[in-house]
Amino acid sequence: MTAPNQFSLSGKRVLVTGASSGIGRQVALSCAQAGATVILTGRDETRLREALAELSGGAHAQFACDLNDDAGVKALAQQAGTIDGVVHCAGVAMSVPLRMASREHIENMFRINTVAPMLLTQQLLLRNAINTGGSIVFISSISATAIGVPGISAYSGSKAGLESMARCLSMEVAKRKIRVNCLAPGFVETPMLQRGREHMLDAVEDTALRYPLGIGQPEDVANAAIFFLSQASRWITGTSLVLDGGHTVR
């Protein structure tokens, strides 16, 4: 008899936010390749359809949703049905020194990066939509706790809040054997990083040189997400895994 593949997502249903581009898109693709049925969500319906068309096998689905809209979040939690995992990839980053940051900028960082994933998770839990033994994964950042970077204090604060919340949440849902973990990537080749190059080319390139294993690819984050979604991580909860090619070791 062949031993079960503890890293397989076969038979699992996984909800992925921010699935229309970047890390979220790759997480959706990789989860489908690992055998999961994937529910994609994001704000851009056209790009969602394009991502959906790339998924292999399964009865995958898409739901366009603005995670800042309470009614939309409630509808998404209902439409998603019963799931075995959720990966919160939707987020935003922008560099503004604190002395120049407006209230709107600061609140927008927290609203999108912290409050939105919290409220979607709340709605899923209220509906008992996450199966016993399921997994909740939040995409954080190395800037949350590992390093200080000038110009992104609001972004870093929003991700630090996300990690703190995740640790507490992991204790709230442990009775149902639901795991809660964060992934904290450094630089990853995504459209978001490309936009950073357009505004701060020298700073981005100088930082990239300080990654011993080079800049990451979306697949590197997606592979870690699959680990946290799979039974291979059944004894891990309340943690944050740094993915940065050795950058913060230096």
Burial of 71 (0-12, 13-18, 19+ CB in 10 A): exposed
* Rounded Cα gap, residues 101 and 114, in angstroms: 18
Parallel/antiparallel/unpaired status of strands 179-185 and 240-243: parallel
pLDDT tens across 5-61, in order? 999 999 999 999 999 999 999 999 999 999 999 999 999 999 999 999 999 887 999
Burial of 233 (0-12, 13-18, 19+ CB in 10 A): buried
Q: Look at residues 27, 46, 49, 47 and name the one whose alpha carbon lies nearest to residue 38.
A: 27
- The whole-number pLDDT of residue 190 equals 84
pLDDT tens across 168-196, in order? 999 999 999 999 999 999 999 987 767 66
- 146: in domain: yes
- The whole-number pLDDT of residue 1 equals 54
pLDDT tens across 195-245, in order? 666 566 566 778 888 899 999 999 999 999 999 999 999 999 999 999 999
Structure tokens at 80: 């998603």
Residue 113 has pLDDT above 70, yes or no: yes
- Average pLDDT for 155-163: 97
CA 138 to chain centre: 4
Mark whether 155 is an active-site residue. yes
- 6: in domain: no
Sequence-distant (≥ 6) Cβ neighbours of residue 141 within 8 angstroms:
93, 155, 156, 159, 184, 185, 186
- 249: in domain: no
The overall average pLDDT reported for the chain is 93
3-state SS track over the chain? CCCCCCCCCCCCEEEEECCCCHHHHHHHHHHHHCCCEEEEEECCHHHHHHHHHHCCCCCCEEEECCCCCHHHHHHHHHHCCCEEEEEECCCCCCCCCHHHCCHHHHHHHHHHHHHHHHHHHHHHHHCCCEEEEEEEEEECCHHHCCCCCCCCHHHHHHHHHHHHHHHHHHHHCHHHCCEEEEEEECCECCHHHHHHHHHCHHHHHHHHCCCCCCCECHHHHHHHHHHHHCHHHCCCCCCEEEECCCHHHC
- 81: in domain: yes
Number of domains the chain contains: 1
- 2: in domain: no
- 131: in domain: yes
Structure tokens at 232: 């291979």
Residue 2 has pLDDT above 80, yes or no: no
* Full-model pTM: 0.94
pLDDT tens across 54-103, in order? 998 879 999 999 999 999 999 999 999 999 999 999 999 888 999 999 99
We report the CATH number of the domain holding residue 227 as: 3.40.50.720
Structure tokens at 149: 């970077």
Structure tokens at 250: 């230096």
- 184: in domain: yes
Range of the domain at 150: 13-243
- 97: in domain: yes
CA 22 to chain centre: 10
Residue 161 has pLDDT above 70, yes or no: yes
Residue 153 has pLDDT above 90, yes or no: yes
Q: How confident is the model at residue 146 (pLDDT cuts 50, 70, 90)?
A: confident
Side-chain-side CA neighbours of residue 146 (13 Å): 18
Which residue out of 12, 24, 60, 155 is catalytically annotated? 155
Percent of the chain with pLDDT over 90: 83
- In the chain, the amino acid numbered 85 is G
